Amino acid sequence: MLYKALLVIFLVLMIPNMIVYAIHGYDELEEAYKNMPVAATEHKGNEQFAEGIFFTSILIGYMVTTILVIAYPRMMGAYYAILFGTVAVIIIYYLSKTVGFPAPDFYDNMIVDDTTNWKDVITKVAQQAFVIPLSMMLILKKYNIK
C-alpha cells in the first residue's frame, strides 16, 4: 500500500515534468529551425537546436525509465537511472546558468543561458521533489519491505 501511494506521488510529479520537457524540446527545435537559416541568428539557432535535442533526450529517458518503474517495479536499474540522471540534469542546468556548459552546438561548443522561465521552474521543482518518493520506493523494493 505504501509503495502504491509513493508511486502515485512520483507520477503526479513526473508526468508534468515530462510534459514540460516535451513542450520545451519542441519550442527549442522550432525556434532553432527559424534562427539557423538567418546569418545574424545562426549561433542562437545552433544553441537552440542543441538544447532541443538535449530536452528531447531527457524526455525519452524519463518516459522509458518511468514505464520500467511501473511495469517492472523490482528492476532497480530504472530507479537508479532516474535518480542519477536527474542529478546530472540538475548539475548541467546550474552549470549552464552560471559558467556555461560544454555542448556540441556546432558553433563554439559552449552553451550559456542566463534566462529563466516557467519551464525551468516547473522542471526543477518537479525533479527535486520526485526524487524523494522515488528514493523511498527504491528502498522499499530493494529491502523487500511491504
pLDDT beneath 70: ranges in the chain: 103-110
First to last CA, the chain: 8
pLDDT per residue as tens digits for the range 101-140 = 776 656 666 677 777 788 888 888 889 899 999 999 999 9
Residue 51: the pLDDT is: 86
Q: CA-to-CA distance for 55 and 89, rounded, in angstroms?
A: 10
- Count of residues in the chain: 146
Cell, residue 16: 508534468
Is the separation of the CB atoms in 51 and 96 below 8 Å? no
Whether the pTM exceeds 0.95: the reply is no
Residue 109: the pLDDT is: 66
105-111 own/partner pairs: CB under 8 Å, 24+ apart? 105/43, 105/46, 105/47, 105/49, 105/50, 106/46, 106/49, 106/50, 107/42, 107/43, 107/46, 107/47, 108/43, 111/47, 111/50, 111/51
Residue 20: the pLDDT is: 94
